[in-house]
Structure 1
């Protein structure tokens, strides 16, 4: 690669490259001579000199009432990029904040299998603090029947943290709740959904109890708020006992 090409990769324009290389060769010179050596118009030469001065690659002095220019040491290029590096270091945290905000706003995590169900329920335990409440819509004893050991562990840990829960169940025999920190209400038996929805913090967890369970966590405050409103509407009209 040519010298000009390498300087171009360092963000120097073609005119800046011409002016800087000419000054390195001839030493100090007036703008007119620089323009002539570079075969550039006077205006283009002055613009290039101005940008090079801003980068610290060219200096100027007044000699005999005339402004003359001189190229800075090529090592100055390192200083230019060190300054850019420092600016970049200051900028990165601000950019990361934007990235984090966007990620938190749009995160959707998908899981498959019983391990995925465990991940979702453990996330509920992790997200909820003592005294927090999460909402559950549509459970049909799937967890206790298909993952009995983990179900007992989950309920024990939930109660130990004093995490409160409100559950909306169908009015069928056996759909009762045996937990100190859980309150249930009931909807008609014909209201059925294969998906269990949990709402906690700014998250919604969906578990589909198919032959191989599938689960999704949506981390979005607005969506969680919408689901919460929907839950509260059903809760308001649901029965307090079987």
Structure 2
């Protein structure tokens, strides 16, 4: 895929692409020169350059009675994408809620493989509850294999950044390292379920969604978006929570 096709995937296409690359090549030049380099007439170029300026990709200014174009550092593209990603992260819970209300039925999303598990896991960070409290049943043994400790450490760090408290139940038999304890700093409250209960699949309950993470053997993530299902799972979690002993 060449540069034109790659930039087209993020909306820099047609006259926008021609003018932006011309501005990069010329550095700083009058609008007429940039338009000529791009093979466009000035009247067409003005509107497109205004859009590029709104995106922060070029700066337009006057000098000696002429309007000049100055291309900005291409790293602006990364900042632009990151800003949009953060905005979508904030909007996604509300948009999803509107979508589900309109559909009037549960939504089930299946994600296969390690990337799918990462996607399902990251969805749990979109909770919008007040306060942000998530319930989890975790199997450390399985999580250490898939998605792995490094990915889980990043996930925990991001959970804390998002201000999400986790009430978590684990089976002591499934713990493989002395980590992930109860901790106010780590926004986690841990309890161990009774010894006769072996919880070997990871489940997160947040808002009206339930996220299931399989073992490495089955290798999938599953998100069920359903008020009734989430309510039932939360009730079951609370019942096990009352039977479980606080860690530490």
Bin of the TM-score, shorter chain as denominator length: 0.5 to 0.7
Residue 167 of structure 1 pairs with residue 168 of structure 2: yes
1:196 is aligned to: 202
Where structure 1 has 5 or more consecutive residues not aligned to the other structure, the ranges are 1-96
CA–CA distance in structure 2, aligned partners of residues 215 and 104 of structure 1: 23
State how far apart, in whole Å, the 1-side matches of 2:151 and 2:117 are: 10
- The answer to whether the 8 Å contact 2:209/2:224 transfers is yes
Matches of 1:156 and 1:130, distance apart in 2? 20
Q: TM-score, normalised by structure 1?
A: 0.53
Q: With the length of structure 2 as denominator, give the TM-score of the two structures.
A: 0.52
Contact 1:164–1:181 under 8 Å retained in 2: yes
Tell me the equivalent position of 2:193.
Answer: 187
Kept after mapping to 1: 8 A contact 2:194/2:243: no
Match of 1:135 in 2: 135
Contact 2:142–2:216 (CA under 8 A) maintained in structure 1: no
Offset of residue 176 of structure 1: 4.7
Once residues 241 and 136 of structure 2 are traced to their aligned partners in structure 1, the CA distance between those partners, rounded to angstroms, is: 11
The Cα of 1:193 is off from its aligned counterpart by: 3.6
- Hey, what's the Cα distance between the residues in 2 that align with 1:140 and 1:189? 15
Q: Tell me, yes or no, if the aligned pair for 1:114 and 1:212 is still in contact at 8 Å.
A: no
Cα deviation per residue 1:149-191 (whole Å; 9 max; x = unaligned)?
Answer: 2111111011112200011011236365245201010113342
Gaps of 5+ in 2: 1-96
Q: Name the CA distance, whole Å, in 1 between partners of 2:158 and 2:98.
A: 35
8 Å contact kept, 1:206–1:217: yes
**Is the Cα–Cα contact under 8 Å of residues 136 and 167 in structure 1 kept in the other structure?**
yes
RMSD, aligned CA: 2.6
| Equivalent runs, 1:61-210 vs 2, <5 Å | 100-101=100-101, 103=103, 105-128=105-128, 131-146=131-146, 147-172=148-173, 174=177, 176-178=179-181, 179=183, 180-210=186-216
- Work out whether residues 203 and 218 of structure 1, in 8 Å CA contact, stay in contact via their aligned partners in 2: yes
Deviations 1:4-39 (A, max 9, x none): xxxxxxxxxxxxxxxxxxxxxxxxxxxxxxxxxxxx
Q: How many residues get paired? A: 146
Larger Cα-atom Rg: 1
1:128 deviates by 4.2
Compute the displacement of 1:209 (Å): 0.6
